[in-house]
Amino acid sequence: MSSISILSELDIGRRCCCGEDYGVIRFIGDVEDSKGTWVGIEWDKVERGKHNGSLKGKQYFICKKEENCASFLRPKKLSLGMSLPEALLHRYTNVDPEGYMEESERLIVGNKGGAVKVELVGMDSVFEERSKLCELKIVSLINMKISNAGSPGELAQLAPNIATLELVGNKMLPDWKTISLIAQQLNSLTSLDLSDTNLELPEDPLVLTPRLSQLTELYLCSTGISWDRVCEVSHMVPFLSKLHLCFNNISIITTQLKCFTSLELLNLEENDLCDWEHIFSLKTYPNLSTLILNNNQLPDIPYHLVTGHESIQFSSLSSLSLRDNMIGSWYTVDFINSYFKLKELRIKNNPVLSNVSSQQARQFVIARIATLTILNNSPVPLAERIDAERYYLSAFSRQWVESCDESGCVPASHPFRREHPRYLLLVNEIGAPADAKADVLKANRFYDVTISAPNYPNLNTLKKKLPHTLTIQKLKGVLHRLYKIDPADQMLSYVREEFNCPEIEMDDTLRPLSYYGMQSGYIILVRSK
């Protein structure tokens, strides 16, 4: 484009570029001590600028940024981009075949490294199919320096059936008004990707709502947008169900009612979120079912936020992604089980999982979250859940036993209940591990047992409470007082009649009753040598 023709298209406020540097035109005119027309540009990247709109003490224009982000250029060095219809023709038709091979040929590399020309049957028909713009439903126009919507009705005539439009990296697009002019011509458009763009919002976003209301999915990744601006965008897209906001350095989320009432998926991956209180503010979105928080800086959920936890619950949330955060305690996993009712969870690469193997970590998470059907993108079948819960019970059985009181129950105030809130439920549903059952009874203070002397028919059968620490030697002393049988002549054993089990000899006099697996209800037998 010649300098004369580009001058005719220059406007204050229009976006432009020089190479890969993008900015906004703030001034067009003469500069003192220099001939010809100059263009004053406020660059997106501050480091590209040389001043703040002033030169030799004279202020030619004012920058929105305070930094020295401006410079002057000749018009011929600038590009004003192309219209979306022009980009569409360039990308999807043979209007400009420069840089392409013949349609019927392609080069492949053979096994020995030699280039072999191969004719691909049917390439003509493929090329023709791409040329039928009116049939296109998915269009990708990434980094094509699109700056405007084209002539009124031009896009609708070329490709009226576009449903998904990717405009990633088109930094020449100036504002949301331009986006609305594009959407207005595409009645089937539902998904729009505007990542890596720099769009100005209108003073009244509601003005553009009629043109954008058909959108249900929107990508605004790497745009530098703040949460407050996101909420302004929400007024233009009232029926949005999926929103992607990755790589925006968002650290604050504020509660704003009447926005995103239809939102089902929110993707906040790769931001700077570090406060769960901001995350909990998203509970106001009634239909939010999928929340993606990967690669942020979220720590464990603070205890103080649990107070009044009824207000934290997400009524519809079923899928949560927390990969690559700073979660270091199982307490957070237990909290997720209690208040999120998840079916899907992604939680890889968090410190809480670093001290166990990957298989153990998976089993512990499955056991602690009752409703999971998918963990880290892998299904959780019923058989795996049963194995995981049994493994979890076994792994922490010793802590459970040690926390039990004399009645075999964990006191309500004991830390074990807070550290393992599902454990007692699983004990009731599945049953404790076999060895743990015995350990619990060992931990009880007394055994209720029956004492019988089958070789002495004149001696009565007795019911006694015996401490679990009582040694066999001391037990023989007790029996000597009860039955007047010399300890040296005593042979002791016990039996579990209800289970038809064989007698178990208790021949080591230094061992306590608990060593032999004694339980309440057992029968101690006293015989003579």
Spatial neighbors of 207 by CB under 8 A, at least 6 apart, are none
The 3-state DSSP class for residue 266 equals strand
Q: In whole angstroms, give the CA distance from residue 385 to residue 375.
A: 11
Q: What is the pLDDT of residues 67-126, one digit of tens each?
A: 889 999 998 898 888 999 999 998 988 654 333 333 333 333 334 344 333 333 444 543
DSSP state, residue 445: S
Residue 520: what pLDDT?
80
What is each CA distance from 185 to 90, 91, 214, in whole angstroms?
19, 19, 12
Residue with the larger pLDDT of the pair 292 and 469: 292
Strands 21-29 and 15-18: antiparallel
Per-chain mean pLDDT for the chain: 85
At 150, the amino acid letter reads: G
State the distance between the two ends of the chain, measured CA to CA, in whole angstroms.
116
Question: Up-side HSE of residue 5: CA atoms within 13 Å toward CB?
Answer: 4
Is the distance from CB of 165 to CB of 84 less than 8 angstroms?
no
Residue with the larger pLDDT of the pair 286 and 130: 286
Is the distance from CB of 147 to CB of 174 less than 8 angstroms?
yes
Helix/strand/coil (H/E/C) assignment for every residue in 322-362 = CCCCCCCCHHHHHHHHHHCCCCEEECCCCHHHCCCCHHHHH
Q: Which residues pair with 148 in a beta bridge?
A: 83
Instruction: Tell me the two tokens of residue 360.
Output: 């153990």
Q: In whole angstroms, give the CA distance from residue 40 to residue 55.
A: 11
Which range among 1-10, 31-40, 385-394 shows the weakest confidence by mean pLDDT?
A: 1-10
Q: What is the pLDDT of residues 434-444, one digit of tens each?
A: 666 555 555 55
Sign of torsion, CA 194 196 197 202? positive
At 326, the amino acid letter reads: M
The answer on pLDDT for 414 being more than 70 is yes
Percentage of the chain exceeding pLDDT 90:
55
Instruction: Tell me the two tokens of residue 144.
Output: 């094509």
Q: What is the pLDDT of residues 152-195, one digit of tens each?
A: 999 999 999 999 999 999 999 999 999 999 999 999 999 999 99
Is the distance from CB of 53 to CB of 27 less than 8 angstroms?
yes
The answer on pLDDT for 445 being more than 70 is no
Helix/strand/coil (H/E/C) assignment for every residue in 53-98 = CEECCEECCCCCCCCCCEEEECHHHCECCEEHHHHHHHHHCCCCCC
Residue with the larger pLDDT of the pair 505 and 312: 505
Is the distance from CB of 140 to CB of 92 less than 8 angstroms?
no
Q: In whole angstroms, give the CA distance from residue 421 to residue 403.
A: 13
Q: In whole angstroms, give the CA distance from residue 345 to residue 195.
A: 26
Q: In whole angstroms, give the CA distance from residue 468 to residue 462.
A: 18
Residue 98: what pLDDT?
38
Instruction: Tell me the two tokens of residue 147.
Output: 């700056």
Residue with the larger pLDDT of the pair 127 and 55: 55
- Residue corresponding to tokens 């990296």: 169
Q: In whole angstroms, give the CA distance from residue 522 to residue 520.
A: 6
- Residue corresponding to tokens 């936890």: 309
Q: What is the pLDDT of residues 19-68, one digit of tens each?
A: 889 989 999 999 888 888 999 999 988 889 999 898 888 999 999 887 88
Nearest to 320, CA basis, from 310, 331, 333: 333
Q: What is the pLDDT of residues 293-351, one digit of tens each?
A: 999 999 999 877 765 545 567 889 999 999 999 999 999 999 999 888 899 999 999 99
Residue 102: what pLDDT?
38
Spatial neighbors of 306 by CB under 8 A, at least 6 apart, are 312, 335
DSSP codes of every residue in 179-190: HHHHHHT-TT--
Sign of torsion, CA 513 518 524 528? negative
The answer on pLDDT for 415 being more than 90 is no
At 433, the amino acid letter reads: P
Percentage of the chain exceeding pLDDT 70:
86
Spatial neighbors of 262 by CB under 8 A, at least 6 apart, are 238, 239, 240, 241, 287
Burial 6-33 (b: 16+ CB within 10 A, else e): beeeeeeebbbbbeebbbbbbbbeebee
What count of other Cβ atoms lies within 10 Å of the Cβ of residue 392?
22
- Residue corresponding to tokens 């990957």: 358
Residue 435: what pLDDT?
61
Residue 438: what pLDDT?
54
